[in-house]
Amino acid sequence: MKRVLSGIQPSGQLTIGNYIGALRNFVKLQHSHSCYFMIVDLHAITVPQEPAALKEQTESVAALYLAAGIDPAKASIFLQSQVSAHAELGWLLTTLTYMGELERMTQFKDKSSGKESVGAGLFTYPSLMAADILLYKADLIPVGDDQKQHLELTRDLAVRFNNRFGELFAMPEPYMPEIAGRVMSLDDASKKMSKSNPNAASFIAILDEPDVIRKKLSRAVTDSGREVKYDPQNKPEVSNLIGIYSHFAELSVAEIEAKYEGQGYGPFKKELAEHIVSVLEPIQQRYKEIRSSGAVHDVLKKGAEEAAIVANETLREVKKLMGFLVN
Ligand code: AQP
User: 7 has which bridge partners?
Assistant: 38
Contacts of 158 (CB under 8 A, 6+ apart): 130, 134, 169, 170, 171, 172
Same domain, 156 and 13: yes
Protein residue closest via CA to atom 34 of ligand 1: 144
Does 17 sit in the ligand 1 pocket, CB within 6 Å?
yes
**195 is known as an active-site residue:** yes
Does a structural domain hold residue 327? no
Protein residue closest via CA to atom 19 of ligand 1: 9
Same domain, 171 and 315: yes
Same domain, 8 and 132: yes
Does 202 sit in the ligand 1 pocket, CB within 6 Å?
no
Task: Please check if 194 is assigned to a binding site.
Answer: yes
Q: How far is the CA of 18 from the centre of ligand 1 (A)?
A: 5
Does a structural domain hold residue 182? no
Q: How many domains does the chain have?
A: 2
Does 21 sit in the ligand 1 pocket, CB within 6 Å?
yes
CA 119 to each of CA 44, 55, 93, 154: distance values in angstroms, whole numbers, following the listed order: 12, 21, 18, 21
Q: How many whole angstroms separate alpha carbon 42 and alpha carbon 86? A: 9
Q: How many whole angstroms separate alpha carbon 156 and alpha carbon 106? A: 17
Q: How many whole angstroms separate alpha carbon 225 and alpha carbon 223? A: 6
Same domain, 152 and 215: no
Please give the chain's pLDDT, 327 residues, in tens. Answer: 999 999 999 999 999 999 999 999 999 999 999 999 999 999 999 999 999 999 999 999 999 999 999 999 999 999 999 999 999 999 999 999 999 999 999 999 999 999 989 999 999 999 999 999 999 999 999 999 999 999 999 999 999 999 999 999 999 999 999 999 999 999 999 999 999 999 999 999 999 999 999 999 999 999 999 999 999 999 999 999 999 999 999 999 999 999 999 999 999 999 999 999 999 999 999 999 999 999 999 999 999 999 999 999 999 999 999 999 998
Q: How many whole angstroms separate alpha carbon 204 and alpha carbon 14? A: 9
Amino acid at 53: A
The parent domain of residue 284 ranges over 200-288
CA 251 to chain centre: 23
Atom of ligand 1 nearest to the CA of 6: 33
Same domain, 97 and 167: yes
Same domain, 124 and 261: no
Q: What is the pLDDT of residue 327?
A: 82
Q: What is the DSSP letter of 183?
A: P
**φ, ψ dihedrals at 140, nearest 5°:** -130, 135
**137 is known as an active-site residue:** no
Does a structural domain hold residue 8? yes
Q: How many whole angstroms separate alpha carbon 121 and alpha carbon 303? A: 25
Q: How far is the CA of 262 from the centre of ligand 1 (A)?
A: 34
CATH code for position 91: 3.40.50.620
Q: What is the pLDDT of residue 155?
A: 98
Atom of ligand 1 nearest to the CA of 107: 22
Which of 137, 192, 235, 269 is flagged as catalytic? Answer: 192
CATH code for position 281: 1.10.240.10
Does 193 sit in the ligand 1 pocket, CB within 6 Å?
yes
Q: Ligand 1, residues 146, 184, 203: which to mutate, most atoms within 8 A of Cβ?
A: 146
Name the region of 47 (left: φ>0; alpha: ψ -120 to 50; beta: rest): beta
Does 8 sit in the ligand 1 pocket, CB within 6 Å?
yes
Atom of ligand 1 nearest to the CA of 143: 33
Same domain, 282 and 312: no
Same domain, 274 and 307: no
Does 41 sit in the ligand 1 pocket, CB within 6 Å?
no
Same domain, 14 and 161: yes
Task: Please check if 32 is assigned to a binding site.
Answer: no
Same domain, 140 and 49: yes
Does a structural domain hold residue 185? no
Atom of ligand 1 nearest to the CA of 193: 1
Same domain, 138 and 277: no
Same domain, 125 and 172: yes
CA 19 to chain centre: 8
Atom of ligand 1 nearest to the CA of 12: 30
Does a structural domain hold residue 186? no
Task: Please check if 193 is assigned to a binding site.
Answer: yes
**111 is known as an active-site residue:** yes
Q: How many whole angstroms separate alpha carbon 6 and alpha carbon 112? A: 24
